[in-house]
Amino acid sequence: MTEGGRSDEALLRAHVDGDPEAFAELVRRHRDRLWAVALRTVGDREEAADAVQDALLSAYRAAKRFRGDSAVTTWLHRIVVNACLDRARRRQARPAVPLVTAEQQPADAPRAGVREPAAPAVDHDTALVVREALAALPLEQRAALVLVDLQGYSVADAARVLGVAEGTVKSRCSRGRARLAVALGHLRPAGRGGDRHTGTGNDTGVSGVQTSATGADGRRGSPEGRAR
C-alpha cells in the first residue's frame, strides 16, 4: 500500500472498474520517472513527450489486460520504453532532410529548423557531452543503461521492463559502459588515468552519466523513486 493512498494495483483495478480519477492519480504518481526515462532514451523533448503520451494512452486502454505478474510501475515503464524505441527506430529510418545552404537563402531570411543559441556555446559543457555520448549508443544499450544506471532499476527489473533475459541486460550495460568510457575518456580528471571502469557504476563512464545526464530533465530521480 502506498503511503497516504491506494496502491498502484488498487488504482489500476479501480480504473478498470470505472473510477474516472484512478488512472489520472496513477499517472501523477509516476509521470516524473516515466518522463525522465523517455527523455533519456530518445534524447529529444518533443519525441519524448509524444512517446509518453502514446504510452499512457496505450496503458489506459490496455489496463484490463494487466495480469499482475509484475509491478504496475514496471508495466508502465515497459510500455513507455517500447514507445520510445519504436519512435527512435522510425526516426533513424527516416532520411535526413537536406538543409538550405547560406548561399541558397536571403541573408535576412529566418533559418527554419536552426536554433539560435542565447549565448556562445561552452566548449566543455560536460552535461551536453555526456548526453550526446549517451544518445550515440545503440538503442538497446542506451535503454538498458538508462534503466539500470540512471533510474536505479535492478538488472532483474530492467529485464522485465525490456522483455529480455537478465544476462542480456548485463551484456548491453557492459557494452554501453565501455563505449561511454571511450567517448568520455577526455573528461577523466588528471591523475586518474589508470582507473578503468570496473562495472560498478562508480567511475568515469557511468558516474559521468549519473552526475551529468541529469541535466536532460533538470533533476535527479527522488530516492523513493528507486525501483523496488
Domain ranges of the chain: 1-94, 125-216
Q: Is 18 left (phi over 0), alpha (psi -120 to 50) or beta?
A: left
- What was the pLDDT predicted at 118? 41
CB 87, CB 123: distance < 8 Å: no
Q: What is the pLDDT of residues 114-148, one digit of tens each?
A: 333 343 344 446 777 878 888 899 999 999 999 99
- What was the pLDDT predicted at 65? 93
Q: Cite the DSSP H helix spans in 124-224.
A: 126-135, 139-145, 155-162, 166-183, 206-212
- What was the pLDDT predicted at 99? 38
Domain 125-216 fold is: Arc Repressor Mutant, subunit A (1.10.10)
Three-class SS state of 101: coil
**H or E segment and range at residue 59:** helix 45-62
CB 173, CB 165: distance < 8 Å: no
Same fold flag, 1-94 and 125-216: no
CB 212, CB 126: distance < 8 Å: yes
Q: How many CA atoms lie within 13 A of 140 on its CB side?
A: 12
Measured distance CA(199)–CA(196) in Å, rounded: 9
Single-letter code of the amino acid located at 150: L
The residue ranges of the chain whose pLDDT is under 50 are: 1, 3, 96-124, 190-228
Measured distance CA(208)–CA(184) in Å, rounded: 8
Domain 1-94 fold is: Rna Polymerase Sigma Factor; Chain: A (1.10.1740)
Q: At what angle do helices 22-42 and 8-16 cross, to 10 degrees?
A: 110
- What was the pLDDT predicted at 2? 53
- Which residues are CB-contacts of 116 (< 8 A; sequence separation ≥ 6)? none
Measured distance CA(40)–CA(125) in Å, rounded: 17
- What was the pLDDT predicted at 125? 62
The alpha carbon torsion through 32, 121, 205, 186 (nearest 10 deg) reads: -170
CB 156, CB 190: distance < 8 Å: no
